[in-house]
Structure 1
Amino acid sequence: MTEELGLRARKKRQTASRIWQAAVDLCSERGFDHVSVAEIAEAAEVSKMTVFNYFGTKEGVIVSPVEEHVGDAARAVRERQPGESAVTALRGQFLDQINGRDPSIGLAGDPRALKVRQLISETPTLAHRMVSFHMTGVQLLADALAEETGDMLLARVAAAQLIGARNALIVENHRRTLDGDPLDEIAGDCAAAAERVFDQVEKGLRGYPGKN
């Protein structure tokens, strides 16, 4: 049974990846607004209903790799060690992602990931979806902080600062990647920048929130 479930999961991931690749290629070539879900389905060799079942919307297909990481910051806070601050937890998570050349923070060697960034910058509906992801990420982090502190107002302030710092680093990675800078050079510079950025945030959030 376990082996069968594992096989099903792999097949689902493969199908989702095939749909995403087809959508990115078509939309990059012709423009997001000029490609239909039916055309994406045909290129991926699935039904139109399968596309909707996997992603819900055409926008959802393109930005699905981003959506998977909306809760990263909140998870870092929830899983941090006793006595560790939220700033320290997010800094550690981000540095680990840099070391792993994680595409979710803009360190993408995959040409399709670069195409996604270009599509987002050119397509208002995709840009709007990114704003929605940002707001969701802030709220998820605020919820995690407020559960510990009981103060949602300060939790929202802290979450906005932390997510803002993280996103500033990611935006710079995307900018340099689109400019064609070498990935290892971007990663090295990002690690140094992350130390400076999170140090700056920590000056205003030192020790917040304590964890027993």
Structure 2
Amino acid sequence: MRQRNKPWADDFLQENTHLVIPNPSEHKNKWQEVFGNNNPIHVEIGTGKGQFIVGMAKQYPNINFIGIELAKSIIVTAAQKVQESGQQNIRLIQENAENLNEIFETNEVSTIYLNFSDPWPKNRHEKRRLTSRAFLERYENVLDPDGELIFKTDNRGLFEYSLVSFSEYEMLLQEINLDLHKIQDPENVMTEYEEKFSAKGQPIYRCKAVFRGE
């Protein structure tokens, strides 16, 4: 979907480098220094307009959250939401997730969230899916040995593909939920898309998985 241009976006990003971190690779293996504490690092890939990451940061003040979003017009909206929240345990990165291993050191991240990722339904676009093998290799590298991957989507096809991808990678599936909102998980923080789809009665799928390691 084409994003609306925001002519003020560049100025906003230049004025808020404490929030949307420029040159993130410079902080590889030093992200806890950015936050000024030793709290665990949780990363959301495709942070969208920021509702999820702000909600999580409020719910878990002793965790450092980093949101990755490529589109400038979207990340500035997320940054505004973070700014308004006053949460000090959030940073944002405007970057392509393909560069994850250039941004984070091995074992530097405790949890990765994938929320309502683009399904890229055509076979020729499989490598772009955030649950493809190439991305799983990146996640395994940056997650600590006990690190968790948490994936939510409304797209049944992507969910089924992802379960196969996780299994073929020999990940351990800790949860497979075909209708998340039926269990009324009090710890679940909804994204903007999740609110929209669940209001229409669409099931929300969630999977939690870990890498088996050596």
TM-score scaled by length of structure 1: 0.31
TM-score scaled by length of structure 2: 0.30
Structure showing the higher strand proportion among its residues: 2
Structure showing the higher helix proportion among its residues: 1
